[in-house]
Amino acid sequence: MGESDSPVLSQQKATLSMTVPDSNRTSCAITTDYPPGDVAIWIFILAELSVFALLFVVYAFTRHYNLELFDLHQQQLDSRSGLINTLTLITSSYFVVRAVAAIQYGNARLCSRWLWGAIALGLLFLLVKGVEYQHHFSLGIGLSTNLFYTFYISLTFFHFMHVIMGMVILTVVALKAGRGGYCATEHTGVETAASYWHMVDLVWLILFPLVYVMR
Partner 1 sequence: MQKGDHELLLTSTITWLLLLALTLVTYAAAQLGVEGKWLILGVLAIALIKGKLIIDRFMGLRWVGSFWRPMLDLYLFTVGGLIATAFLLP
Partner 2 sequence: MQYQSQMVAKPYFIAAIGLFVAQILFGLIMGLQYVMGDFLFPEIPFNVARMVHTNLLIVWLLFGFMGASYYLVPEESETELHSPKLALALFWIFLVAGALTIVGYLAVPYATLAKITGNDLLPTMGREFLEQPTITKIGIVIVALGFLFNIAMTVLKGRKTTVNLVLLIGLTGLAVLFLFSFYNPDNLVLDKMFWWWVVHLWVEGVWELILGSILAFVLIKTTGVDREVIEKWLYVIIAMTLITGIIGTGHHYYWIGTPEYWQLLGSVFSAMEPIPFFMMTVFAFNMINRRRREHPNKVAVLWAMGTAVMAFLGAGVWGFIHTLSPVNFYTHGSQITAAHGHMAFYGAYVMIVLTIISYAMPMMRGRAAANSNKSQVMEMWSFWLMTVSMVFITLFLTAAGILQVYLQRMGGDAALSFMVAQEKIALFYWLREGAGVVFLIGLIVYIASFFVGGKERAETA
Residues forming the site for partner 2 (CB under 8 A): 1-4, 8-9, 12-13, 15-16, 19, 38, 40-41, 43-44, 47-48, 50-51, 54-55, 58, 62, 143-144, 150-151, 154
Q: Which does 72 bind (CB under 5 to 8 A by kind): partner 2, partner 1, none?
A: none
Considering only 16-24, 141-149, 152-160, 203-211, which stretch makes contact with partner 1 by CB under 8 A? 203-211
Cα 140 from Cα 188, distance rounded (Å): 46
Is 165 near partner 1 (CB under 8 A)? no
Question: CA–CA distance from 203 to each of 7, 24, 51, 83 (Å)?
Answer: 24, 31, 11, 15
Please report how close the Cβ of residue 143 comes to partner 1 at its closest, in angstroms: 22
Closer by beta carbon to partner 1, 20 or else 30: 30
**For 60, what's the count of Cα atoms within 13 Å in the CB-facing half-sphere?**
10
Is residue 25 within 8 A of residue 32, CB to CB? The reply is no
Residues 14-73 that bind partner 1 (CB under 8 A): 26-36, 42, 46, 49, 53, 56-57, 60-61, 63-64
Contact 119, 139 (CB under 8 A): no
The closest alpha carbon to 88, from 170, 211, 200, 214, belongs to 200
**Closer to partner 1 at the Cβ: 7 or 140?**
7
Does 176 contact partner 1 by CB under 8 A? no
Cα 43 from Cα 8, distance rounded (Å): 9
Burial class (CB within 10 angstroms; exposed 0-12, middle 13-18, buried 19+) of 75? exposed
Q: At residue 149, what is the residue type? A: Y
Residue 213 interface partner, choices partner 2, partner 1, none, CB cut-off 5-8 Å depending on type? partner 1
Q: Which of 64, 66, 63, 85 is nearest to 159 (CA)?
A: 85
Length of the chain (residues): 215
Indicate which of partner 1, partner 2, none lies near residue 75 (CB less than 5 to 8 Å, by partner kind).
Answer: none
Residue 61 interacting entry, from partner 1, partner 2, none, C-beta within 5 to 8 Å by type = partner 1
15 CB neighbour count, 10 Å cutoff: 14
Residue 151 interaction partner, one of partner 2, partner 1, none, beta carbon < 5-8 Å per kind: partner 2
> In the complex, which residues of this chain contact partner 1 (CB under 8 A)?
7-8, 11, 26-36, 42, 46, 49, 53, 56-57, 60-61, 63-64, 79, 83, 86-87, 90-91, 93-94, 96-98, 100-101, 104-105, 191, 194-195, 198-199, 201-202, 205-206, 208-210, 213-215
